[in-house]
Structure 1
């Protein structure tokens, strides 16, 4: 399916980099681990990193019930969620044409609190499996007290935009023809390191397969 831009989700600056396939939106959200949730609190913008997980076209956000950003978003005010993946720095022949290769998604909408116990458990499973795959069935399940202390919001992905830049610099023709400076891309790649066991573990523990397989 394709994205259906609205006035506030229409990409105008650098529109040639807009991705229109909904699969591109899903791919960006699935590849990142942290989003930035923006909401207006006391007439001032507040932007905070937030854990999330995607199930179909629903984005689940979670945090402490004491988090002001989530409390405000739960009131039904407009919110904006942004996710950015940096893939490299683009070194051009001119400073003006320097850039970055990236994949970015922006979602607009109104978040809905998830309060039904079964729905909340499902949302938390989605969140956990996105951030730490395999952990929901391995680790201890949340207690009623822990569930009560956790706020979960659902945000529909109906209103979203995706922007992607890849490839070499876009230098001016005169700069390319002059051939006076190096230009290219310095790729950025993120990788997992070796798992580090908690010093408080007692006895001989092997790192669980769901952790080993991720690295």
Structure 2
């Protein structure tokens, strides 16, 4: 949604032990185009890191710009404080879409169809003012494309309370499942229903706070 227009057709990220699954390796890909597509179709990720010796996973909004992820947070949050250090913060960022419930005749074979991305690396806080402007605009546009140009930019007080961390997409892979209900042959004659239930995100009609302001063009993507 907020990606830069770079050509990634045919390009791949390097495989590493952390980005190579131990099960269902055929579902994994390191192709940049496929990975970016999963990321660009989302705006919420889960950020994992270690704080005081214990694992922490937090949901937050993100945006992709080229081969970088920008994650939004408060200047007082733990991951943002950790990423402000010179050495940065070791993180794992995940994005998941659930596309269907997969219901089979046996409990064991139930599953979901999904698209997911897992990225590892060292996150750093964005301090350059120009890069911060790009990141904040991308974060707004990741949620609603074109929105950043239709709102008041953050003022100095708001900027002082906002922090953004950057993660380079160097160690990253995607994994997907898009199969049907794979019943075991031995279960074929069982009288139980099997199949898939598609899962989709559906947006409602925009509800104005100020009815005197007409719906802008970038909001026409939502049903009216």
**TM-score normalised by L of structure 2:** 0.89
Q: How far has the Cα of 1:179 moved from its partner?
A: 5.0
Q: How far has the Cα of 1:68 moved from its partner?
A: 1.6
Aligned partners of 2:84, 2:173: CA distance in 1, in Å?
A: 23
Aligned partners of 1:175, 1:4: CA distance in 2, in Å?
A: 41
What root-mean-square deviation, in Å, do the aligned CA atoms of Structure 1 and Structure 2 show? 1.4
Task: Verify: 1:5 aligned to 2:15, yes or no.
Answer: yes
Question: Which ranges of structure 1 fall in alignment gaps of 5 or more residues?
Answer: none
1:114-125 matched pairs, under 5 angstroms: 114-125=126-137
Task: Verify: 1:107 aligned to 2:119, yes or no.
Answer: yes
Higher mean displacement: 66-75 or 123-132 = 66-75
Equivalent residue for 2:6? none
**TM-score normalised by L of structure 1:** 0.93
Deviations 1:172-196 (A, max 9, x none): 22113x2532211000011111001
Aligned length: 211
Q: How far has the Cα of 1:142 moved from its partner?
A: 1.1
Task: Verify: 1:205 aligned to 2:213, yes or no.
Answer: yes
Question: Which ranges of structure 2 fall in alignment gaps of 5 or more residues?
Answer: 1-10
CA contact (8 A) 1:91 1:98 kept: yes
Equivalent residue for 1:23? 33
Q: How far has the Cα of 1:20 moved from its partner?
A: 3.0
Task: Verify: 1:93 aligned to 2:101, yes or no.
Answer: no
Aligned partners of 1:157, 1:113: CA distance in 2, in Å?
A: 15
Deviations 1:7-42 (A, max 9, x none): 111111221211232111101100011000001111
CA contact (8 A) 1:34 1:51 kept: yes
Equivalent residue for 1:32? 42
Q: How far has the Cα of 1:73 moved from its partner?
A: 3.4
Q: How far has the Cα of 1:205 moved from its partner?
A: 2.3
Q: Which of the residues 154, 179, 186 maps onto 1:167?
A: 179
Aligned partners of 2:96, 2:62: CA distance in 1, in Å?
A: 14
Equivalent residue for 2:168? 156
